[in-house]
Amino acid sequence: MSAVSSYSVSRVIRFDPLAGPGTDNPQVSVLMLTCNRPQFLNRAIQSVIDQNFEDWELIVVHDGPNKQTVAVMKKWVERDSRIRYYHREHGGNIANACNYGLSHARGEYIAILDDDDFWAANDKLTKQVEFLDDNPGYAGCGAGMTLIDDHSNDLMSYLKPEQDEDIKKRALWANPMAHSTTMFRRAAGKAIGFYDESLAGFQDWDLWLRLGRVGKLYNFPEVFTRYTLWSGGGSFQQQRRNALSALKIVLRHRNEYAGFTGAFAFVMLHFAYAHLPSVVRKSSFSFLSRLKKTLFAGRTRPVGRASEPDPATTVG
């Protein structure tokens, strides 16, 4: 039996719900980090407000002194009591900010949304809560994305591998779960220690590889999120740190997932690319990012068909 299938069979754990403080705990805690991108915040938060599932809290962790972000968040907190805002003048890395936000979470399930992305499907939370309620052996689930530029123009849409076995076959090559589409059990996250603060980048990829070792994973065959691909995003700004983290992650999980040799060669190419001159990387970043997502997606779709779900399939 392969490393992939052994985890999907022998290490699936049933997680009981976590009880948080108080008696009015929401079922879902939505975690959003923000730093210096106030121009996208309203769009992201509105996409949470627009969900037809209403039993949520939104935890916004703001690192840094950006006054415009403070002003935007003050209005949202006054408007909706489900929004909880935490401002840290001097924060840590992404993993530290995530763990800080999660220390305040009360929900049974954790949903992730980056501040420069937004949810395109208003039943996203409903579908994921129902799935995790009905499938206790699953640690978390995600879906596909539509990539947009910073002017909201659609670039491409793609789906991630759907079933647990297929997800884990590709897990060492690239993150098999699109983070802003995902939801996971807080109990499962707590069991693995949430995000690894020692990693300088790709902390979400490492999180999902560790979650995949204690439970099964699933991706809905439809698009839930629009993901902003731009040179001001963290993916471009942290390329060298991400490349080094990718090497550490592939080496860390090499005995747990299939395909180590090819995955290691691929991250070495990524590491070399990250050390090219900035002007070269900036001119090629969008194209190569889309190419990578195409290579490791379950399927891609023409722009304009992002919200059309595929025919229903049986969860394995």
Average pLDDT, the chain: 84
CATH number at residue 283: 3.90.550.10
Which comes out higher in pLDDT, residue 314 or 227? 227
Q: Per-residue pLDDT for 287 more than 90?
A: no
What is the Cα–Cα distance from 305 to 311, expressed in whole angstroms?
A: 14
Any domain includes 304 = no
Place of tokens 């070495």: 268
The tokens for 247 are 């090497």
Residue 312 lies inside a defined structural domain of this protein? no
Number of H helices, E strands in the chain: 12, 10
Number of domains in the chain: 1
pLDDT at 311 over 50: no
**Host domain of residue 66:** 3-11+25-298
255 closest CA partner among 245, 263, 246, 266:
263
Whose tokens are 């935007």? That residue is 72
User: With a threshold of 0.95, does the pTM exceed it?
Assistant: no
Both tokens of residue 155? 């670039």
Q: Is the pLDDT of residue 222 over 60?
A: yes
- Cα(167)–Cα(176) distance, integer angstroms: 6
Give me the pLDDT at residue 14, please.
Answer: 58
Q: Does residue 308 lie in a domain region?
A: no
Alpha helices, H only, the chain:
3-10, 38-49, 67-79, 94-102, 124-134, 164-169, 186-191, 203-211, 234-237, 239-252, 260-274, 278-296
Cβ neighbours for 185, distance < 8 A, ≥ 6 positions apart? 15, 108, 109, 110, 132, 139, 140, 215
- Of the given ranges (12-16, 142-146, 195-199, 275-279), which has the lowest mean pLDDT? 12-16
| Residue 20 falls inside a structural domain | no
Instruction: Please count the residues of the chain.
Output: 316
* Residue 177 three-state SS: coil
* Residue 134 belongs to a domain: yes
- The 10s digit of each residue's pLDDT in 163-216 is 999 999 999 999 999 999 999 999 999 999 999 999 989 999 999 999 999 999
Is 156 part of a structural domain of the chain? yes
Is residue 17 domain-resident? no
Report yes or no on 313 lying in a domain: no
